[in-house]
Every structure is written in C-alpha cells, then in structure tokens.
Structure 1
Amino acid sequence: MSPDSVWIPSLGVSVIVLSEGQSGGLASIPVGKTRVGWLNWTPSMTSRGGTTVIAGHVTYDNIPGAFYKLPQIKAGAVVYTTTRTGKVQAWRVQSAATYPKGKLPAAVWATGGAHQLALVTCTGSIGRVPKQGGYAHLDNLVVMAKPVATR
C-alpha cells in the first residue's frame, strides 16, 4: 500500500504526506525534500467538510524543502492528493496569500463547511521567532484549493 501523497504537476512537486501532530504548541513538519505533514488535528483528506491542512518546509538548514516551489503556484493550478487506499482527489487552487506567522485566517482551521485543502509553507524574510527558539521565516504562504473531481 502506498503512502498518502500530494502531486502538483505545474511545479513538478510530488511528495509523501505523513500524519503530524504538535510539539510545544508548534506543528511538527517533516524534514526533507520529499515529505510534508498533514496536521492531524485538521480534517483528513477523505473528510467531507472542513479544511485539510498539509504543511511542508520551503527550506530547512538552507536546503530546499518539499514545498520550495510552492510560492510559484498560480490560481487555477491543479493539485492532486492520493490516499494510501488509492483515492485520488483533484483540487483547483483558488488563492495563494501571505500572512504573518501565527496570524493565519480562520478558514485555514475550519472544521466544518465545504471541504477545502490548505497547503502551508514558510515565506518572507528571516528573523528571530522566539516561540520557535531561533531564526525562521517570519511569514506563512497559504494556498487554498477546492475539490474539482474524484477518480
């Protein structure tokens, strides 16, 4: 059985999705170029409602991360998610917006309403982020997508 995955053809991104929790109030994000994390306190990829949040590093220790190319995504792009059971879901990107860390819009954390997908990575300048215990990007890029077809 294959693991859950995300494929963004327009960016040449194909990554494995791991279930991730929190540590010290911060999301645990897998390190590496081929792994991202489904934040497991958000609805799953097979949920019928709410926002499924998948987060990945743009860089890690100055090395490109799994979502390194995510800032290049355009509205209208198609993203595919595949579950370990083989269910494929196509999503159409509605928006890509930057927010200060810790100030993501409520829609990202929605547990009800229409099902949507949020792909999240860091972006912007690097500066001191006390909650993270060091230096990091000061902003987050949030890509919101809606389901368009199921195979």
Structure 2
Amino acid sequence: MPRAEPIRLRIPSLGIDTALLPLGLGPDGALQPPPLGQGGTAGWYAAGTSPGEKGTAIVTGHVDTPDGPAVFYPLSQLTPGATVTVERADHTTATFTVDRVTNYPKTNVPDEVYAPATRPELRLITCGGAFDRTRGGYQDNTVAYAHLTR
C-alpha cells in the first residue's frame, strides 16, 4: 500500500476503537506517547512508516492514566490470529493479523521492535508488567507484532 495517514485503529476482539494522533520523538530521542489527557486515544509515529506501507509502523497508547484504564489497557490480552484494522486517510483499510504479544523490560527492549521490515508490519506498544510506585511507573513494555494480510 502507498503511504497514507492512519486515522483510526480497531481491534474488535478487545473492543478497541480509537482515533490516531500523529506522534514524534522527545528531546531524549524516545517516541512520545499520546498526552495523558487523551488516554482514550492511541498515536502513531508520523515520521516513520504508515500502517499498510512496507516497513514497521509503530502505534502506541497508554495502558492507564491517573483517571483509570486507557485505550491499550486490554492489549496484553491480545492473542495470535486476532485482527487489527487501520483506516487510512486515502479511504483504504489496512488489515493486520497478530503474530505474537510479548513483554520486555523497558531497559531492554530489543531492536526488532523498531527494526525495518521487508513487508508491511505493525507494532502496538503500551506499558506493561508491574507498576512500581517507587520507580514511578510500569517497568515493562507490552508489544504486539502483526503483519498486513489485506
């Protein structure tokens, strides 16, 4: 598929239906999550691959906020074979099939999460694992890997 801005992401098996905000990198070079005040909305790395385009597209969202569960709260329950759809601004829909869901320590996220792919792939990323009040947050990232199927 040619490049097109993604506007909406749906994961029917989890009841997720969200608009997508364009996101960038922060001063530290890390991908910035959506604003905490928009916990019900996911975002995509706009300077990278768009979902459906050849390569690795990145979508991220909060698992929770101080107000409660957020858009990707159920992401850890996603299973291989599940469908993820992304509506795009060019009026096409990219349909992905989930390959696997994995937790990584935030201090040791492997390069494969962000590495370029030879086919259209999607990564869905949120916080995961245990919440550590002493350290001020979740210590892991939950990453869902998916590939374009139509």
Q: Mark yes or no: TM-score above 0.5.
A: yes
Percent identical across equivalent pairs?
Answer: 29
Please report the TM-score for the alignment, with normalisation by the length of structure 2.
0.86
Q: Which residue of 2 aligns with 1:66?
A: 71
- Would the alpha carbon gap of residues 3 and 44 (structure 1) be closer, same or farther in structure 2, given more than 3 Å must change? closer
Q: CA 1:81–1:102 in structure 2 vs 1: closer, same or farther (change >3 Å)?
A: farther
Output the CA distance in 1 between the equivalents of 2:52 and 2:12.
Answer: 21
Unaligned runs of 5+ in 1: none
Q: Which amino acid aligns with 2:102?
A: A
Q: 1:14 aligns with which of 13, 17, 20?
A: 17
**Local SS of the residue matching 2:136:** strand
Report what 2:98 is aligned to: 93
Structure 1 segments (4+ residues) deviating >6 Å:
none
Answering whether residue 29 of structure 2 is matched by residue 28 of structure 1, we say: no
Instruction: Please give the secondary structure, in 1, of the residue aligned with 2:108.
Output: coil
Taking the aligned partners of 1:55 and 1:68, their CA distance within structure 2 comes to: 12
Distance 2:107 2:47 in 1: 16
Give 1:3 shift: 6.5
Q: Is structure 2 residue 84 aligned with structure 1 residue 79?
A: yes
SS of match in other structure, 1:47: coil
Q: What SS does the aligned partner of 2:130 have?
A: strand
Structure 2: segments with no counterpart, 5+ residues: none
Superposed CA RMSD: 2.0
Specify which structure has the higher proportion of strand. Answer: 1
Aligned length: 143
Q: Secondary structure at the match of 2:139?
A: strand
Residue type matched to 1:21 in 2?
G
